[in-house]
Structure 1
Amino acid sequence: MIRAVITTALCMASTFSISSYSAVPAEKNLESEVGKGVDKAAEKNLEKITIEGAATANESPVGTFNSPISNLEYDPRVDLQSRNMAEAQADVTIRGGIFENTGFSVGSATLIDPQTGHYFAEIPIAPEMLSAPAILTGVDNSLYGTNSSVGSVAYKWRPIQTAGSVSLGVGNNSFNMQRVHNAITWSLDGSPEWSAGVEGEYSRSESDGTIENGDHSFERASGRVQLISDTSQTDVFFGYQDKFFGWPNLYTPFNVNETEDLQTRLLMFNHQQQYAQDSSFEVSAYYRKNNDHYVFSRENPESFQAFHETKVKSVAVSGRHGVDAKLAVNYAAQFTADDIESTTLENNFTSRDYYKLSVVPEYAIALKDNEHITLRLGAAYDDTNRDDSSVSVISDIVWHKVNTDKSTRTVNFSYSEATQVAGYTAIGGSTSSGLFRSNDTLERETSKNLELGVSLDEATWRVDSAVFYRWDNELTDWTYSFDSTSARVANPVDIETIGVEFIAIKRLENADVVTSYTYLDKSENYRDENIDASFYALNYPPHRFTLGVIWYPVESLELRVDNEWRKQEENALRKGHDTAFFTHVTLTYSPPQFEGLNVVLAVDNLWDESFEEIPGTPGRSDQLSATATYFW
């Protein structure tokens, strides 16, 4: 019964926010009576449930266990370009940037891998522990993001709730998956104000892959303890993840079967605190260790292989201090220290310290009842012990109105700047030989974003739209020349991007719908006529549509469908069409005779689309699975 009244799209409107983000977001508690078919007597016995929105209909992948980045490929706010599958190797891009322009943050801290942005999304945390991702762009990315010039994918730690589940899954391509998750909470000394919790999970999966030499073997174990009160939440977390996967032309266009083995360890502390009036802060600290073993040819591994070990230590803080009813100060700071041991990246420095401080005062002006304007103007300071420092402007003006029927209207206009430095693969290897050729002359990348956004929020629908113009200078891209013996070369490029975003959400009687359209147009200058193709910066869709639907035909059945159609920019390395249509379908049956049991039939890439998401790298084929999950 409870699952029938928790609809993922119900609170999508709170997820889509073009210009709002809080260091310690307030939870939104809604009574279960918003669901259909719940009688009044049952309503009184149902607890308040925290409902979080998602930008896609589906929540879980088809070919492995769930991860924080699962199903982001259907999220209208990002473009996920995968090798094998998203959970194997995911390049997440935002608004036409590249994978290294996108940051991933948990709490107040941005998680980085100093070797390459390909591993930014290696986050060994069970999704039950995290909020739905917030996509930060423009002002919010400049304020809260670190070393991410275009956008950030931001997660918060959820309060632990007593619950658990066990899952078993099978599918085509010899796929099998097992997973167990459990969480327990209790009051301290009988006090309703303080409680503690413990949460843990173990997941594994393996398959032969959707194409030949596309096999995988994944394993993850994670756990945390939590102390929580009415005004604070403290989490201590440790997670371990081991992933082996193969794919033809995984990183190179030379028709070989490449493999990668990744081991990621993450130890993290996080504390959220609310105080005074409209004031809060969050402190995060983490240690991350990532080991990478890359093999160019699984048939001849000695021809070329590389071992990398990266270690990152970081502490970060973000918050908002309310001075009075009109004035507040938003702030964020992060210090990060990394180092790398590598068999192929030893021609340049192997450690670096990063510093980021941003301060953005905010002033609110009341115009009339339920209508106000908010002004924000501040700056961010970025520096490392290896690169020149940079000061970035952060500014916006937001008009917000709440109507008598509780509907809202929001218009925002912003100008913001952000900056970052290149990873070790781009700057630390050989500049004259090898599969991946570095460039030790790369400078600090800068991005400037001018944007106009409009949001309309009604009881049963919401529309978010934005038009932006972005200047990226000295952006690090990976390019290819037909006359070169290397697979990829790091080169700087200046790009101007015009973009339009439109996202609409609608709640119907027995269904929820989210649809979107994005338009991108780029003008690039590489200053090098020998470049024949771009793997990343020019690998973008000028036109992209998404459509997600959640349908409840009867109480025991739930159908979730995500669709994406794209028209990709032409690329000299891409084989096949420049258009693609992907569909992910999930049918869930909850037999009334067995409370807590769900049986899920799912298929991804329903039409067996072979589109190359990375030019020259084969696309995935279809994957089918059947999963039984028992909840308690």
Structure 2
Amino acid sequence: MYKPNFNKREVIVFRQFQRKGYSLFACLGRVVVIGVLSAATLQSATAATDEVSTKTEKTDNTESVDKEATLEDVEVTGSRAPLALGQAARMVTVLSREEIQAAPVQSINDLLKMAVGVDVRQRGPIGAQTDVSIRGGSYEQIAVLLNGINICDAQTGHNAFDLPCDVADILRIEVLEGPAARVYGASSLVGAINIVTSQAPEASLERDYNGQVRLEGGSFGYLSAAGRYALTPHADQLTSSLSATYTRSDGYQRSAAGHLNSDYTGGKVFYQGGYADQAMQLQWHAGLSAKGFGSNTFYSGRFDEQYEQTLKFFTAIQGETSGRLHLKPAIYWNRGYDRFELIRGSEDLVPFNHHRTDAFGINLNCYFDWAAGRTAFGGEFRNEDIVSGNLGEPLNAPFRDYKYGLNRSNLSFHLEHNLLLKRFTLSAGFIAVKNTWNEMPFTIYPGIDASLRLGKGWKLYASYNASLRMPSFTELYYSVGGHKADKYLKPEELQAVEGGVKYSSSLLTVQASIYHNHCRQMIDWILDPTEAEPVWRSVNYTKVNTLGFETSATLQLHRLLPLPGATLQVAYSYIDEDKVGQHQIESQSTLEYLRHKLVGQLHMPIVERLSLDVKYRLQKRAGNYTTNAGIVIPYHTYDVVDTRLSWTAEAYTLYAEANNLFGSHCVDFGNVRQPGLWLTIGAKYRFNI
């Protein structure tokens, strides 16, 4: 981590995870200090202690005060330049590796359900398709990043979480709530989610293992097999790892004709590597994600045998130089294929939709220290291209299933300065963005963050930020199947203010924040049921004002009870949106937000090696949906309990999970029913080769 010392840079050693002094992921544009974490960090990783330690973290397994002292030693800065621990003013939620490995989930999407500011609208389980949004926004309005690389799908946000990595690859997940254009560029209108992977061997008790295999089975014909191998050669400068995953399920329901319509088959392969010496650091990754799933009534309630296949490739290389001026370049290329079948296997009845998207990007972020603080500057170029069966303008030379296409480029420059005092931090800057679509000129989006530390354990923070999002290719051109798109849509723009307070001690951590978002030219699909032939239209849906409140509390139960490592956490979020529009108009996504969300988590050791994790989630969604019979039904309140019982030994882990333990009736999208009780048993085996 960095002290407010502007003359030299000291590197923290990640003894807990990577055991290498260069494991900073500094090329991501942030600094992360990982100490000993617990499940309690999920909602409370924003503020930290006043004092910054730049010494190596302890690695002993003693249940002592030292472990609690490092609970707050996690910082993911919401800025272009890395800042000292405890000085960031932005709300950043962090899921640690320990939380991820202990969670009763089958996909990364499920992990995000416990972040109180995140809305996870699931159409299909085990990662089939999930729309993720933040603070009342839509699934199109967040930036999704893999190791700091933007992997957003310009075709549609529905496929944003087709990730190539397995849950076992993940070091942590970072959620930055609120406009993030100044940090992550265009597309991060209401926030960003960054999945950070690890090349390190798997750690268990006192030893590290360079290999792991996992096997799971459960309800509805569910089967998942995965393997991971981390190679750490004698030359400590070079690391690499390779993982592969296969998952399948028969699904939890059938169509009216008795056919499978919620089945799933998918596979992932992910390779990553890194190199570091005194002069530079490099890291790279390459991945593949392929899946096919029954889409039952995902996009139309009248057709219950829909089907979709997606295939995605990911490549990137990043670096950072040492010295007074830090240069952090990155280059990446992502490609995605999507095929949608309205009537499964019946292309003669309804033609399939075929799409191929490419995203190429290159960026450079630089920062340096001087007498007045730390300054960062840089720029990014990103090109997005699509060829499709129905999206875009007619191609001059159609080929295969592609008759239409579109290409657009985004160019941005950023500048930021950070003033660092003993108890006060001020971070201010802007991003200037230009997009070739609709001849958008350079537009500036500013931001300013401030934090004030009041005595031991207290912190106040406030921020103002502006951001934008370009419309997706689907929003611009999808005009089939009861939809009518507008290719002249304008970009969405949002301005937000936020303030909050946090108190942290060795026993209790409490945090509360309030925010106001003002969005204009918001893009949404709306339907007027009073029309003779209603269709869903993409529009810039006037202005929307969002007022939100979030609070969380984490109690270290092991301080009160003789239960080492036991924690209890409760968090609540409230959102109210005020919009201008007609009462009869139905909204497909943007204005169907989570008004209330309550989450609770309990981690409880039972006996040595045996532990219980219980997660509770209650939510009430605003808005209505229309059934196939034309009846308008409001979204009802539902709650879900997930549990996991784990036995962890030196070289293996055995576990049993129950998702939706009490079989609650869950509906996140109208006419798409979610599964009831889902049981899973599994085993992990760790080894060395």
TM (normalized to structure 2)? 0.79
Q: CA deviation at 1:631?
A: 1.4
Q: 2:507 aligns with which of 431, 439, 460?
A: 460
**Take 1:582 and 1:35, find their aligned partners in 2: how far apart are those partners?**
32
Deviations 1:550-584 (A, max 9, x none): 11111121111111101211313375751010121
2:133 to 79, 93, 112: 93
Contact 2:545 2:577 in 1 (8 A): yes
Work out the CA distance in 2 between the residues paired with 1:498 and 1:255: 37
C-alpha separation in 1, matches of 2:129 and 2:590? 18
Q: Which one of the candidate residues 584, 593, 597 is aligned to 1:544?
A: 597
Partner-residue secondary structure (3-state), 2:448: strand
Contact 2:43/2:571, CA 8 A, preserved across alignment:
no
- Separation in 1, partners of 2:75, 2:56: 6
- C-alpha contact 1:8 1:53 (8 A) present in aligned 2: no
SS at match of 2:624: coil
Q: Give the letter aligned to residue 355 of structure 2.
A: H
Tell me the amino acid that sits aligned with residue 470 of structure 2. Answer: V
Provide the residue aligned with 1:420 in structure 2: 469
Give yes or no for contact 2:226–2:244 (8 Å, CA) kept in 1.
yes
SS of equivalent residue, structure 1 residue 71: helix
Partner of 2:190: 150
With over 3 angstroms needed to count, the CA separation of the structure-2 counterparts of 1:76 and 1:223, relative to structure 1, is: same
Q: Does 1:239 align with 2:281?
A: no
For the pair 1:489 / 2:489, whether they are aligned, the reply is no
Q: 1:203 to 1:112 in 2, by over 3 A?
A: same
Match for 2:407 among 351, 355, 358? 351
Q: Does 1:202 align with 2:244?
A: yes
Structure 1 residues 400 and 484: alpha-carbon distance in aligned structure 2, compared to 1, 3 A threshold = farther
Report the counterpart of residue 586 of structure 1 in structure 2: 644
User: In the alignment, is the contact (CA less than 8 A) between 2:526 and 2:585 conserved in 1?
Assistant: yes
User: How many Å separate the matches in 1 of 2:533 and 2:102?
Assistant: 40
After TM superposition, the structure 1 = structure 2 runs for residues 123-522 of structure 1, keeping only pairs within 5 Å, are 123-138=163-178, 140-161=180-201, 163-188=210-235, 194-212=236-254, 213-229=261-277, 233-273=281-321, 275-276=323-324, 282-298=328-344, 300-301=346-347, 302-318=349-365, 320-324=367-371, 326-331=372-377, 333-347=379-393, 350-366=406-422, 372-387=423-438, 388-389=440-441, 390-401=443-454, 403=456, 408-430=457-479, 433-482=480-529, 483=531, 488-493=536-541, 494-509=543-558, 510=563, 511-522=566-577
Query: How far apart, CA to CA, are the structure 2 residues paired with 1:422 and 1:535?
Result: 16
**Distance in 2 separating the partners of 1:15 and 1:106:** 22
- The one-character-per-residue Cα deviations of 1:141-181 (angstroms, maximum 9, x if unpaired) are 53334322110002335353352211111111111111111
Cα distance in 2 for residues equivalent to 1:229 and 1:130: 24
- Provide the rounded CA distance (Å) in 2 between the counterparts of 1:323 and 1:364: 11
1:98 Cα deviation after fit: 0.3
Q: Which residue of 1 aligns with 2:3?
A: none
Query: Taking every aligned residue pair, what percent have the same amino acid on both sides?
Result: 17
Alignment-derived partner of residue 43 in structure 1: none
1:558 aligns with 2:607: no
C-alpha distance in 2 between matches for 1:231 and 1:53: 31
> Conserved in 2, the CA contact under 8 Å of 1:92 and 1:98?
yes
1:313 and 1:458, CA in 2 relative to 1: closer, same or farther beyond 3 A? same
Q: Confirm or deny that 1:627 pairs with 2:685.
A: no
Partner SS, residue 552 of structure 1? strand
Higher deviation after alignment, 165-174 or 229-238 = 229-238
The SS at the match of 2:383 is strand
Question: For the Cα contact (< 8 Å) 2:43–2:552, is it kept in 1?
Answer: no
Distance 1:626 1:262, change over 3 A: same
Matched to 1:560, the amino acid is D
Task: Report how far residue 332 of structure 1 moved.
Answer: 5.2
What SS does the corresponding residue of 1:539 show, helix, strand or coil? coil
Change (3 A) 1:451 1:484: farther
Contact residue 180 and residue 189 of structure 2 kept, 8 A: no
Aligned pair 1:9/2:57, yes or no?
A: no
Structure 2 partner of 1:42: none
Is the CA contact 2:624–2:635 (under 8 Å) kept in the aligned structure 1? no
| Conservation of the 8 A alpha-carbon contact between 1:108 and 1:283 | no
* Residues 199, 230 of structure 2: 8 Å contact kept: no
* CA deviation after TM superposition for structure 1 residue 464, in Å: 2.4
Q: Which residue number in structure 2 is paired with residue 41 of structure 1?
A: none
* Deviation of 1:104 (Å): 0.9
**CA distance 1:519–1:332, shift in 2 (3 Å):** farther
**Equivalent pair of 1:547/1:564 in contact (CA under 8 Å):** yes
CA RMSD of aligned residues (A): 3.2
Question: What is the match of residue 83 of structure 2?
Answer: none
User: 1:411 & 1:554 partners in 2: Cα distance?
Assistant: 40
Counterpart check, 1:599 vs 2:654: yes
How far did residue 256 of structure 1 move? 2.3
Whole-angstrom CA distance in 2 between matches of 1:586 and 1:10: 14
Shift of 1:284: 2.5
Deviation at 1:56, TM superposition (A): 9.9
Is 1:33 the equivalent of 2:61? Answer: yes
Q: One-letter code of the match for 1:386?
A: W
Stretches of structure 1 that go unaligned for 5 or more consecutive residues are 39-48, 189-193, 367-371
Counterpart-to-counterpart distance in 2, 1:531 and 1:59: 46
Q: CA deviation at 1:504?
A: 1.9
1:590 and 1:339 map into 2 onto residues whose CA distance is 47
Q: Which amino acid aligns with 1:416?
A: N
Q: What is the alpha-carbon distance in structure 1 between the residues aligned to residue 535 and residue 359 of structure 2? A: 28
CA contact (8 A) 2:358 2:385 kept: yes
Q: 1:401 to 1:608 in 2, by over 3 A?
A: same
TM-score by length of 1: 0.85
Q: 1:609 to 1:186 in 2, by over 3 A?
A: same
Cα separation, 1, equivalents of 2:353 and 2:346:
13
Say which SS state the counterpart of residue 182 (structure 2) adopts: helix
Query: Within 5 Å, which residues of 2 pair with 1:112-131?
Result: 112-131=152-171
Aligned AA (1:535): Q
SS in 2 for 1:142: helix
Amino acid at match of 2:499: L
Instruction: Name the CA shift for 1:332/1:256 in 2 (closer, same or farther; >3 Å).
Output: farther
What is the CA distance between 1:333 and its match in structure 2? 3.0
Match of 1:535 in 2: 588
- The separation in 2 between residues aligned to 1:63 and 1:159, in whole angstroms, is 22
Q: Which residue of 1 aligns with 2:90?
A: none
Seen in structure 2, the aligned counterparts of structure 1 residues 53 and 350 have a Cα distance that, compared at 3 Å, is: closer
Distance across 1 between alignment mates of 2:75 and 2:501: 27
Letter paired with 1:285: I
Secondary structure at the aligned position of 2:140 is classed as: helix
What amino acid maps onto 1:269 in structure 2? I
Q: Structure 2: state its 5+ residue gaps.
A: 1-15, 18-34, 67-73, 77-93, 202-208, 255-260, 395-404, 627-631
Secondary structure of 1:97's aligned partner: coil
Judge conservation of contact 1:59–1:70 (CA < 8 Å) in 2.
no
TM-superposed CA distance for 1:437, in Å, is: 2.3
Q: Distance in 1 between matches of 2:334 and 2:134?
A: 24
